[in-house]
Amino acid sequence: MTEAQASPSRTHAIFSPTRIWALARVTFTQLVRMKVFYFMLIFCAVVIGATFIFLEYSFEEELKLIKDVSLGAMQLFATIFAIVGTALLLPRDLEDRTLYTILCKPVPRLEYLLGKLLGVLLLIAISLVLMDVLFTAVLFAKQSAIAARTEEALALKGASELEIARTLEIIAKQGVTWNLLNGVAAIFMKSCVAAAVALMVSTFASSTLFTIIVSFVVYFVGHIQALARDFWLGGMITDTVERLIAVVVSLLFPDFQLFNIVDGVVAGEPVPLLTMAKLAGLTLVYLAVYNFAAFFVFADKEL
Amino acid sequence: MMAMMEPAPAVTVENLTKVFPLPLRREKVVAVRDLSLTVAAGEVYGLIGPNGSGKSTTMKVILGLIKPTRGRTAIFGKDSREVDSRQDVGFLPENPYFYKYLSGEETLAFYGRLCGLSGKALRDRIQELLELVDLTHARDRRLGGYSKGMLQRIGLAQALVQSPRLVVLDEPTAGVDPAGSRKIRDLIFELKERGISVILSSHLLEQVQEVCDRVGIIFKGDLVREGRLEDLIAIEDQTEIILEGASPELIEKIRALAAEEAGKSGTKLVSLGRPRTTLERLFLQETKGETKDEPEKR
């Protein structure tokens, strides 16, 4: 019997998590094997290490500085990678004709988009976890050193045990806490939305550069979306053009400012669980909306 | 007794028209015009034509990558626009670049998983395909280090990963040296022996002539000629006799006989001489054993 005759008429799953996972794995592998990822890790490690040079500050400021620089570096890395990493995927697949070989297999276009996005998010998540581990270790080491140094100094001054305990408590509050994870989670969620925006833009963009530029514009405008929304809904604008701009910004752009809880986290302000749940919900809504829009454009795209 | 149902053709193209609008202009480009063709199951079909004639557009519509403006295409009876139809088709595009950070084995595993293969079945299939395309030695090498010929062969392997009943090859030998080209030609013959239908688009007409059962010629979006190869290329009023070991005397006798007949029945001796080998065969004969799979700069 020939091979062709032997091939049964195969059934095809309309939606397959296995296929999405296969695409995500390859995307993840592809991105990991690009040298830029390792460079970013080294960059973050250098930034975190550099925080040790500010020794003239008070212990509170020293710890705050480490948190500020580290979370800032994580934010920068995650945003750049979410936008640039995602912007590279679809145009490059199209340019290299790799897209043809993938979509000629029984792969629905929605699965292709989801797989690509999942691969980028997986990479951002893993790299944030790695950076968080490094950051926590550095912060804990610094916190322990400050605590030992302060305890010794206070004992020499003849401070009471209560006074020493209170000081150590203040140091602990500025050191490693579970609240820091909320800051990292918010950075991740913000990156997820930025990546979804970049993927959507790449479905109709003519080049990688265009995708990157437009995505960064959306990212920055997204930080003033709340302002535009307030102007629009508050009826503060009377000019038609200005009103139109406010409506467009309010409806099409994501509200990135909502995810900016890092400053509070650095200051040691606890983030309520409800706030995190709301952010997670909002992230899922943005992902659904931007993925749907991406699919809407990509489904009919002539390749 | 139930009548035997005729198997669905591998490919059906009915009155296909594809028009591309030009951005920011009123004009439109008609890439393919009212094209109809059928590729039978197990047949090797050659689609030939100059650059820009509509070959690639036709193939893309068949594969569901672009939508027809008018008409329809089907693969084994299933409409090309349905994702389901792609279970039975493998495609090798012209000058493919796969993910260069993946090895040959990882590439095949990726495409296999997209087709629902996993575990031992996938591992066995990868091994089988690497042997088929003669890339077992380069299975762990990243594709960034593959030569053009090796890329074409790994491309062919990925096209075959789910054991499709139809394979579409767009210029499979473009930029490949004669030895690599010969390997790909042999693989097409092997597919044919296995009963797999093939649509081949190539500018190498000699190769098309060698492997195809039927040929369609597209020119400016129209299918201008189509048919069985031997019917298309046969010269109706001429007869070829090839002799081996014929003496000069015998040749002379034939020549005299033909000259004698010329006066009576209008028979004319058109040519008499030694048949020639092709340049490709001569090149391969002279460079036998000299070509290796060396990576080239990309």
What is the SS3 assignment for chain A? CCHHHHCCCCCCCCCCHHHHHHHHHHHHHHHHCCHHHHHHHHHHHHHHHHHHHCCCCCHHHHHHHHHHHHHHHHHHHHHHHHHHHHHHHHHHHHHCCHHHHHHCCCCCHHHHHHHHHHHHHHHHHHHHHHHHHHHHHHHHHHHHHHHHHHHHHHHHHCCCHHHHHHHHHHHHHHCCCCHHHHHHHHHHHHHHHHHHHHHHHHHHCCCHHHHHHHHHHHHHHHCCHHHHHHHHHCCCCCCHHHHHHHHHHHHHCCCHHHHCCHHHHHCCCCCCHHHHHHHHHHHHHHHHHHHHHHHHHHCCCCC
Mean pLDDT of B35-60: 90
**Quick check: B195 and A5 CB within 8 A?**
yes
Which comes out higher in pLDDT, residue A23 or B50? Answer: A23
Look at residue A201 and tell me whether its pLDDT is greater than 90: yes
Residue A181's pLDDT band (cuts 50, 70, 90): very high
CA quadruple B69, B75, B81, B86: dihedral sign: negative
pTM, two decimals, is 0.83
Q: Does the pLDDT at position B289 exceed 60?
A: no
- Please report the pLDDT score of residue B273 as a whole number: 74
pLDDT of residue A54: 59
Chain A residues closer than 8 Å to B97 by CB:
96-98
Cβ contact B155–A101 (<8 Å): yes
Nearest residue of chain B to residue A3 (CA atoms): B194
Residue-level pLDDT at B39: 93
CB contact under 8 A, B195 and A2: yes
> Whole-angstrom Cα distance, residue A256 to residue A238?
26
Residue B291 has pLDDT above 60, yes or no: no
**Inter-chain contact B101–A33, Cβ cutoff 8 Å?**
yes
> What does pLDDT average to over chain B?
84
pLDDT at B73: 94
Name the percent of chain A lying above pLDDT 90: 34
- Predicted confidence at residue B76, as pLDDT, reads 92
Least confident window among A114-123, A176-185, B20-29, B89-98:
B20-29
Name the residue among B84, B87, B158 with its Cβ closest to that of A101. B158
| Higher pLDDT among residues A275 and B2, named by residue | A275
Reply yes or no on whether the pLDDT at A87 is more than 80: yes
A94 touches chain B (CB under 8 A): no
- Give the Cβ contact number of residue B217 at 10 Å: 18
Confidence of residue B267 (pLDDT cuts 50, 70, 90): confident
Any idea which of A44-53, A247-256, B168-177 has the lowest mean pLDDT?
A44-53
Tell me the mean pLDDT in the region B218-230: 84
pLDDT (mean) for B199-216: 86
Mean pLDDT of A172-190: 91
What CA–CA distance (Å, rounded) separates A107 from B113? 11
Q: Which residues lie closer than 8 Å to A12 by C-beta, 6 or more apart?
A: A106, B83, B84, B87
Q: Confirm if A52 and A90 have CB atoms less than 8 A apart.
A: no
Reply yes or no on whether the pLDDT at B21 is more than 90.
no
Interface residue of B91, B114, B196 to substitute, partner A, most A CBs within 10 Å:
B114
Residues A86-106, mean pLDDT to the nearest whole number: 88
The residue with greater pLDDT, A188 or A97, is: A188
Specify the pLDDT at position B2. Answer: 46
Q: From CA A204, how far away is CA A185, in angstroms rounded?
A: 30
> Percent of chain B scored above 90 by pLDDT?
34
Q: Is B109 exposed, middle or buried (0-12, 13-18, 19+ CB in 10 A)?
A: buried
Q: What is the mean pLDDT of chain A?
A: 85
Three-class secondary structure of residue B214 per DSSP: strand
Which residue from B134, B159, B160, B171 is spatially nearest to B50, judged by alpha carbons? B171
**Interatomic CA distance for residues B262 and B282, integer angstroms:** 36
Whether A45 shows a pLDDT value over 80: the answer reads no
Per-residue model confidence (pLDDT) at position A52: 65
B181 — pLDDT class (breaks 50, 70, 90): confident
